[in-house]
Structure 1
């Protein structure tokens, strides 16, 4: 083999792009994985928010059909917990605040019951650096109390 053929073959090896796909993958793959995890986190937050909205609406409706504030509060608490459970939401902590002031208005006047559900959703299982371990989501719903229904005070 002559020197010219040898140097030509060595030059081809140096200019070849073997191995560049591995380098490109090592650079691009972590970015793609982070983007995927962010998309999953965003989807979890949006989906959980919609489910918490639904739980607040269920709790407000349940509270508005009871005649006493105590019964309305108990019913709203259990309705919110049941709705979150049925929808598969696992909250790190849950809080349900109920304003039953509409149950004390006189018959013939419009009253409302307002429920606020707060749920802390887990994000720590996504293993994304910089992402908090939990996110607190809050939803408020109001339901009208039947104006002609008898109310106990």
Structure 2
């Protein structure tokens, strides 16, 4: 009887069972941390791209030139920082370019980037996350405005 009791109380194989239970949860936690890190890092880089776009747009005299320059600046900034967006959209509010000389105007840009997360292969995580950043830059109040 004592021999049977000793056999039932042995711990052989318990390490494998513990590993089988804990390992998938640990891998999932690491993947979630990577996804969170990717989203946070991409968010800060998209903020920088929106700031670059706003500054570039504020240097131009016409709304059309400001729109094109802002989109080019945001795209270049994202490429320089290594962010690969599935789609990039830059909206520019150029009303500040129309204020009379001597008054302060501002240009506001909103940069939107869709970051791909599907390569993480994590259940419950969306395949992509759309991140948006807005920045404003002051137009030189004594600079000539466009017609």
Once the two structures are superposed, the pairs formed by residues 109-148 of structure 1 within 5 Å of their partners are 109-148=103-142
Task: After TM superposition, give the deviation of residue 32 of structure 1 in Å.
Answer: 0.8
Q: What corresponds to 1:81 in structure 2?
A: 75
User: Could you state the TM-score of these two structures normalised by the residue count of structure 2?
Assistant: 0.95
Task: After TM superposition, give the deviation of residue 13 of structure 1 in Å.
Answer: 3.4
Q: What corresponds to 1:95 in structure 2?
A: 89
Once the two structures are superposed, the pairs formed by residues 1-153 of structure 1 within 5 Å of their partners are 8=2, 11-153=5-147
Mapped partners of 1:11, 1:37: distance in 2: 43
Mapped partners of 2:16, 2:146: distance in 1: 74
Task: After TM superposition, give the deviation of residue 17 of structure 1 in Å.
Answer: 0.6
Give the length in aligned residue pairs: 147
SS at structure 1 position matched to 2:29: helix
Is there any run of 5+ residues in structure 1 with no aligned partner, and where? 1-6
Q: What corresponds to 1:3 in structure 2?
A: none
**Bigger radius of gyration, 1 or 2?**
1
Superposed CA RMSD: 1.2
1:58-98 CA-to-partner distances (Å, cap 9, x unmatched) read: 00000001111111111111000000000111111111101
User: Could you state the TM-score of these two structures normalised by the residue count of structure 1?
Assistant: 0.92
Mapped partners of 2:100, 2:12: distance in 1: 83
